[in-house]
Structure 1
Amino acid sequence: MPIPTSRRTGTLRLRRNVVASLAAAVALLTVTSCSGGRVTESAGTRLPTRQATSSPTEAATAARLDAAVRQVMRTTGVPGAIVGLWMPGQPDYARAFGVADKQTRAPMTTNMNMRIGSETKTFTVTGILQLVDQGKLGLDDPVSRYVPGVPEGDKITLRDLARMQSGLFDYTKDPDFDAAVQENPERVFTAQELLDYSFKHPLDFAPGTQLVYCDTNTVLLGQVLEKVSGQSIADYLRDHVLDPLDMGRTLYPDDAQIPAPYAHGYTTQTADGTEADATHWSPSDANAAGAMISTLADLHTWAPVVATGTPLIKPSTQKQRLQTATSPDFPGAAYGLGLFTAEGWVGHNGSIPGYQSLTLYLPSKKATMVVLLNSDKPYKGTDPSTLFGTAITTVATPGHVFRLGPGTSSTPSAG
């Protein structure tokens, strides 16, 4: 999907500027082998013990996955990729490709910290749902009960916010916001400053009547989470989400630093469109919608939690989470409470300057897929994470090839 020059934390953007490149994705998958693209496997992460490849068929599948990933890298120009695929009865696939630093040519490894953009939304909404389970708030409460000054806040519910149906203006589309981040990518924004960019605009539609992906919704939910819990969002997620799951390398950062080891992230979201190293750009403009950092191992843990709720969310609440809304702009996909469903897969993707991510779970096969990239540059209007997801699932789960967006009747696109 095309990424505007403004700093985006998406990528699932259910609106008319979402474009899927089906023909390009299909072309990528016709290649069964290629050269180039360094493959490394790293010890020292909390990945499950890798099963030994035990048959020619399994070895051939791993080789096809390698070839598919390398080909997408060559076509899109993504410098480095970390890919994980776990399916019961199949050898674990956890590999790193390419480089983490284009200057030093240091290789990407599977234990690197990466920015995950809008996958942050899955964590923020999980926190809200935990407070629902505790009886501290209700999904049908008006947001005005918790945060003053929201346009039509007495009509917008927390459910509307979590399911992208509030009608609030997306602050990332505001020209003043765009100018501010272009002028200084390292600027630190408060949540209120981000909301102010949105609140000066009227609603785009009546609450609950449409589905339009909007970062304002999740920033606002972050404010509700802090108000009701009495903790900062970073502390709340650490204490109630991350620590209980032993996700010790996932964090909501309080500055622009990223813990070592990390991959440098590269973006063309600059004023003149030239490539820049965005590794230490401030993630504060993403806030509760996209600021978090994680790893392959932690996201492997996280994927089934988002899709099933276990062990953090009550089954009745998770059932509500999976009640989705649809958009004619996004056939084959639907959005629930801080997650999407597409071709049987459940989860989210993310994009923040320099990085993209995709973390999905396929309940019917108990399969998990994680993709982490150190580039957010689109290829012919499609997010690179989408093309990786398509390529991987075409090989691994041909009955559930990941697809998102218009024109994807037989291929994917996420964002």
Structure 2
Amino acid sequence: MTRRYARLRRQVVVATAVGALVVPGAGGAATALPYPATAAAQTPSPSPAGDEVRELTPAVQRQLDQAVRRVMRQANVPGLTVGVWTPDKGRYVKSFGVADRATGEPMRPDLYMRIGSETKTFTVTAVLELVDEGRIGLDDTIDKYVDGVPNGNRITLRQLAGMRSGLFNYSADDDFYKALTSDPRRPFTPRQLLDYAFRHPVLFQPGEKFFYCNTNLILLGLVVEKAGGQPLRDYIQEHVLDPAGLKDTLFPAGNEFPEPHAQGYTDQTASGRVEDTAEWNPSWAWAAGAMISTLEDLRVWARTVATGELPDGRRLISPATQKQRLTTPPTPIPGTGYGLGIFNVQGWIGHNGSLPGYESLTIHLPSAQTTVVVVLNTDINHQNQEPSTLFGDAITTIISPDHVFDLPAEPAAR
């Protein structure tokens, strides 16, 4: 198996070793302020109504600037935006590099970005809302909602959301890989994705162990549609995005991408050459990774996912259900647990995302009420490590040395 193929097949699943979550970044015109060597643009993001805006100290900002630029150079990242928000020390919002290599347009905090597997936090939130309403149960088996699932009479919704189903990951199927890379703009239906998975035997019995798998989320998306009585994108809009006030987050029907957005760059191509990906169709990721958001929306969403609370103090998820969500059994990754659609990495709660051309990391540290969001316009690994993970490690080493987002590099693919 080539390293290139091994990487692509886990895209949108957030590489088994990474954790982050989805938090929103909203728009607002950005003023580009060039920085030496990195063409960085810095624009303060809007603060919540009534909050006093305070920046991190100049000394900490310099440390973060240096760390981000160092990782950019090492990993050859075209552009990214970083947001750090902490109530006692202030905030840090900066963009670095370019959004488009062809035009030299700088990255800005208000750009729309594809967020890959952070979509999972939205899909699972929709599931948990239906649980709170009594319309489904976490211990229901999937055969109650979807026919033809291997072991469907034994796999529960809880095991799907917690990545413990034992199902084969459709994005690891050879024919799927060929279909996607031969025409990245083609649409896929959820049933087509499941067909790629179900032609393979189960990998292990339900609940036996942790295995990150996009197939699980496709099934949960179909559960939401059946129990919620709406297409998944409409249910998420009405029941998740609107209540959370996420006006710049969307679940696209196809390859639509609102302006302004960054161009994305990937080597996950049939030829192996780096290509632009903004016009590629993310329908192949659907409930597992098709969504789009902004830095400010992700900031809001990060805390909502970690606490179950909306910005206005109302709850999106009940305390009892949120407690189940935050129960994060250990994974094979040291210091990392995975609950119901979320990672816990050294205390940081959330998810990351990786889609050809884009990566993101959205995490919240409840003990310090601190949020970190990173969005970037490449998914090309550096020494077998996803760049979003490298930025997460570098940033948290500075702002939370007792809670470092330190995920190990993936073993080389064989």
CA deviation after TM superposition for structure 1 residue 404, in Å: 2.1
Cα distance in 2 for partners of 1:217, 1:7 equals: 13
Distance 2:39 2:404 in 1: 26
Question: Residue in 2 aligned with 1:209?
Answer: 208
Partner of residue 316, structure 2: 312
Verify the 8 A CA contact 2:12 2:289 in the aligned structure 1.
yes
Structure 1: how far apart are the matches of 2:171 and 2:306? 28
Q: Deviations over 1:91-129 (max 9, x none)?
A: 211111110000000000000000000000000000000
**1:90-129 to 2 correspondences below 5 Å:** 90-129=89-128
Does the CA contact (< 8 Å) of 2:353 and 2:361 recur in 1? yes
Structure-2 residue corresponding to 1:321: 325
Deviations 1:251-282, CA, capped at 9 Å, x for gaps:
00011021001000000001222100011110
Residues in 1 aligned to 2:371 and 2:326: alpha-carbon distance in whole angstroms: 18
SS in 2 for 1:39: coil
Counterpart CA distance in 2 for 1:122 and 1:250 is 13
Equivalent in the alignment of 1:39: 40
SS at match of 2:7: coil
Give the Cα separation in 2 of the matches to 1:380 and 1:50. Answer: 41
- Report the equivalent of 1:384: 387
Aligned-partner Cα distance in 2 for 1:381–1:7:
13
SS in 1 for 2:379: coil
Write the deviation string for residues 160-179 of structure 1: whole angstroms up to 9, x where unpaired.
Answer: 10000000000000000001
Structure 1 residues 200 and 314, CA, compared in 2 at 3 Å: closer, same or farther?
same
* Residues 5/313 of structure 1: CA separation in 2 closer, same or farther (3 Å cut): closer
Q: Could you give the per-residue CA deviations for residues 297-356 of structure 1, whole angstroms, max 9, x where no partner exists?
A: 00000001111111210000011111122233x111010000000111000000000000
CA distance in 1, matches of 2:154, 2:272: 40
Please give the alpha-carbon distance, in whole angstroms, between the structure 1 residues aligned to 2:97 and 2:256: 23
Question: 1:36 deviation in Å?
Answer: 1.4
**1:47·1:297 contact (CA, 8 Å) conserved in 2?**
no
CA apart distance, 1:246: 0.9
Question: % of aligned pairs identical?
Answer: 51
- 1:332 is aligned to 335
Residue pair 2:237, 2:250 contacting (<8 A) in 1 also: yes
For residue 130 of structure 1, what is the amino acid of its counterpart? Answer: E
Q: Deviations over 1:23-75 (max 9, x none)?
A: xxxxxxxxxxx9511221236x6444773448xxx111011111111111111
Q: What amino acid is aligned across from residue 198 of structure 2 in structure 1?
A: F
- Structure 1 gaps of 5+ residues are 19-33, 409-415
CA-CA distance at 1:89 after TM superposition? 1.7
Question: Taking structure 1 as reference, are residues 204 and 7 closer, same or farther at Cα in structure 2, changes over 3 Å only?
Answer: closer
| Compared CA separation, residues 272 and 340, structure 1 to 2 (3 A) | same
Letter in 1 for 2:38: G
What code does the residue aligned with 2:109 have?
T
Provide the residue aligned with 2:30 in structure 1.
Answer: none
Q: Which range moved further: 359-368 or 319-328?
A: 319-328
Written as runs of structure 1 = structure 2, the 5 A alignment for 1:224-235 is 224-235=223-234
Alignment of 1:159-178 (within 5 A): 159-178=158-177
RMSD: 1.9
Provide the rounded CA distance (Å) in 2 between the counterparts of 1:8 and 1:375: 12
> Structure 1 pair 295/361, CA: closer, same or farther in 2 (3 Å)?
same
- The one-letter code sitting in structure 1 at the alignment partner of 2:302 is A
For the Cα contact (< 8 Å) 1:68–1:391, is it kept in 2? Answer: yes
Look up the match of 2:376: 373
Report the Cα distance in structure 2 between the residues aligned to 1:100 and 1:338, rounded to whole angstroms.
29
The separation in 2 between residues aligned to 1:158 and 1:240, in whole angstroms, is 19
CA distance in 1 between counterparts of 2:273 and 2:52 reads 40
Give the deviation of 1:239 after TM superposition: 0.6
Aligned residue type for 1:195: L
2: CA distance, partners of 1:41 / 1:326: 38
Q: Is the 8 A contact 2:385 2:409 kept in 1?
A: no
Query: Quick check: 1:190–1:284 contact (8 Å CA) kept in 2?
Result: yes
Aligned residue for 1:202, secondary structure, equals: coil
Q: Which residue of 2 aligns with 1:303?
A: 302
Supply the AA of the counterpart residue of 1:277: D
Contact 1:50/1:91, CA 8 A, preserved across alignment: no
C-alpha separation in 1, matches of 2:283 and 2:55: 43
* Secondary structure in structure 2 of the residue aligned to 1:182: helix
**2:122, 2:357 → 1: CA distance?**
21
* Mapped contact 1:121–1:218 kept (Cα < 8 A): yes
Residue type at the aligned position of 1:333: T
Letter in structure 2 aligned against 1:322: L
1:248-397 counterparts in 2 under 5 A? 248-310=247-309, 311-328=315-332, 330-397=333-400
What code does the residue aligned with 2:112 have? N
- Partners of 1:5 and 1:301 lie apart in 2 by 29
Write the distance in 1 (CA, Å) between the matches of 2:103 and 2:113: 18
Q: Which runs of 5+ in 2 are unaligned?
A: 19-34, 310-314
- Looking at structure 1, the residues matched to 393 and 136 of structure 2 have their Cα atoms a distance apart, in angstroms, of 38
Q: Secondary structure at the match of 2:62?
A: helix
Q: Which amino acid aligns with 2:307?
A: T
Distance 2:388 2:95 in 1: 15
- Following superposition, the deviation at residue 407 of structure 1 comes to 9.2
Give yes or no for the alignment of 1:74 onto 2:73. Answer: yes
Separation of aligned partners in 1, 2:8 and 2:211: 19
Contact 1:50 1:93 in 2 (8 A): no
